Amino acid sequence: MRYFATFFILLTATTFIACGSDDPVDIPSQPTPVTVTETFSGSLNVNGARIHSFAVERPGTVTAQLKTLSDQAATLGVSLGTWNGSACAISIGKTDAVLNTTVVGTAQTAGQFCVWLNDVGKLTAGIDYSVDVTHY
């Protein structure tokens, strides 16, 4: 019986010693965020406004760039904000946006956001537009 107990203790100790390792532990790294670009287009009437909503998957930079205008001399308002399902709560905007103007903001969390385009009193006729929104 004593022989068996001693053998068991030595076997257990040897097993624990063999479990040690000098290899560093590999900690998985966060994946590189993937940038998403969404293009929204439409028509904007005199004194009108248009809202386009989009989902942000992770915090980071959000940009809206006015890519095309049927009247290349037009000046619009372009804003970014949060979307609650029925309204766009503006966070940052530009009231003198022309072709290729970019508005840059930061999403602090994932969620629903929006881009708001509006006539700032300078349109004399309706126009067609497209805006690229880039986010994570």
Quick: pLDDT tens for 74-91: 999 999 999 999 999 999
The reported pTM is 0.77
**Residue 7: pLDDT over 50:** no
Question: Could you give the 3-state DSSP secondary structure of residue 134?
Answer: strand
**Residue 43: pLDDT over 70:** yes
Could you tell me the domains of the chain? 36-135 (2.60.120.380)
DSSP string, 24-69: PPPPPPPPPPPPEEEEEEEEE-TT-EEEEEEEE-SSEEEEEEEEEE
